[in-house]
Amino acid sequence: MENSSNSDENYDVGYQPSPCSTDPNDQSTMSGDSFVYCRTYSSTSVFSEPVDDHHSCCSEASPSCSSHWSTRRSGGVVPQKQALLTRLVTKQCKNSNAGDHQKLDDLESLDLATVFGQNLRLEPLNPEKKALWKREMDCLLSVCDYIVEFTPKSHNLRNGAAVEIMESRQRSDIYINLPALRKLDAMLIEILDSFQDREFWYAEQGSMSANSTRMGSFRRVVQRNDEKWWVPVPCVPSSGLTEKARKHLRHKRECANQIHKAAMSINNSVLSEMEIPDSYMASLPKSGRASIGDPIYRYMYTTEKFSPEYLLDCLNIASEHEALELADRVEASMYTWRRKACMIHSKSSWSMVKDLMSDVDRSDKNHILAERAESLLFSLKQRYPELSQTSLDTCKIQYNRDVGQAILESYSRVLEGLAFNIVAWIEDVFFVDSTTRNQD
């Protein structure tokens, strides 16, 4: 086994990140201007740790119609936004000495084109935003009506004979997932609508607004991150929230949590069905051992009873950033070993490798390592359920050519992000309430 031509001991090239994960020309199916979210951190939480907002915002956005996509892909500006920006710049030039209140009004007028992108509060969407969101979704999802497959159906003729005919319906993945996503969408809107009458309020743009001059303003007890200056600060009365309000918040937090899990499950399912790009397979390291490092490799190779949980405990992962980096390396090594296990068939494309995995010798060293890497990756994602998408997932999204999968992935990702942020906003209010009551 040690002298096998496919042995992983002989390596000379270290793991190189897939170019698709760092390509500055990356074009995804989502626009980059209207939704702020990443799985690892809530970039809209007032009290979250600072993150690199440029990288966390570049790929998460609200889906829109095809004309919107084509305009952004060509490097131009969406006409509607361009007009709004032009009016905003002109207005600022004419009124250079205008007060902060006027500037906020201008920002709110610009906000009408972004739906959830600037909706950073627990409050109902205004009618304009709701109408815009509905138009965007109708435009995006209308394509799914034409992504169909043929299924057999029994039909009785007039003479009593039974025949089987073929009828068309939405492709199975769309037929199953799209109604579920629509339902999750409606539930999230309902959660926001439930905060029509609330006991808390917000301080605007890092300063005291007209609504935040009440007694018990949260600004006197908490210092916020300067990096999050745009996030409204939640405020509660000096006596804190009533038990009825806290019960309502807990219920909505649990609902949003369940929606987040459901949307993430659909997103992961869609990603798993996407074809692995040849560019990713070509970028894999020559050695899985070089990818994961000697300590992890030795444990995976030498132990008789492999325990991924024990290995993760020994690694002492300090942050989700480290967890994501490990996930990338483990995933790359897994596919490297799978490719080596199938190398005897001289098949390089992943579609052929996947078909031939059942014919591989189960006692082969590379196959065993690949299976253990897969279990390690699964345990890692279970331990960090809100882990950001790996380099492979990002590469799949970039090079995916299946329109149906692109729609399901983008729609579920946006809903996942909104649910995650709603939970973060509720947690912020709970933190304010707890701190205010402790002050008393």
Name, of 10-19, 56-65, 337-346, 348-357, the range with top average pLDDT. Answer: 337-346
Q: CA nearest 400: which of 213, 215, 275, 257?
A: 275
Q: Which two tokens stand for residue 106?
A: 């201008």
pLDDT band at residue 440 using 50, 70 and 90 as cut-offs: low
**Cβ neighbours of residue 285 closer than 8 Å, sequence gap 6 or more:** 11, 13, 14, 15, 16, 291, 332, 333, 336
pLDDT score of 149: 92
pTM score above 0.85: no
Domains of the chain, earliest start first: 116-201+230-275+400-439 (1.20.58.2010)
pLDDT score of 79: 45
pLDDT digits (tens, 9 = 90+) for 265-290: 999 999 999 999 999 999 998 889 99
Q: What is the mean pLDDT of residues 83-99?
A: 47
pLDDT digits (tens, 9 = 90+) for 167-178: 888 999 999 999
**Cβ neighbours of residue 99 closer than 8 Å, sequence gap 6 or more:** none
Q: Which residue has the higher pLDDT, 78 or 39?
A: 39
- Matching residue, tokens 């995006």: 140
pLDDT score of 259: 97
Cα separation, 294 vs 287, in Å, equals: 11
pLDDT band at residue 115 using 50, 70 and 90 as cut-offs: low
pLDDT score of 13: 36
> Cα–Cα distances in Å, from 106 out to 89, 91, 412?
10, 9, 31
Cα separation, 418 vs 188, in Å, equals: 8
Helix (H) or strand (E) holding 377: helix 365-383
pLDDT score of 160: 85
Q: Which residue has the higher pLDDT, 364 or 49?
A: 364
- Matching residue, tokens 């098949």: 347
pLDDT band at residue 407 using 50, 70 and 90 as cut-offs: very high
Q: What is the mean pLDDT of residues 289-307?
A: 91
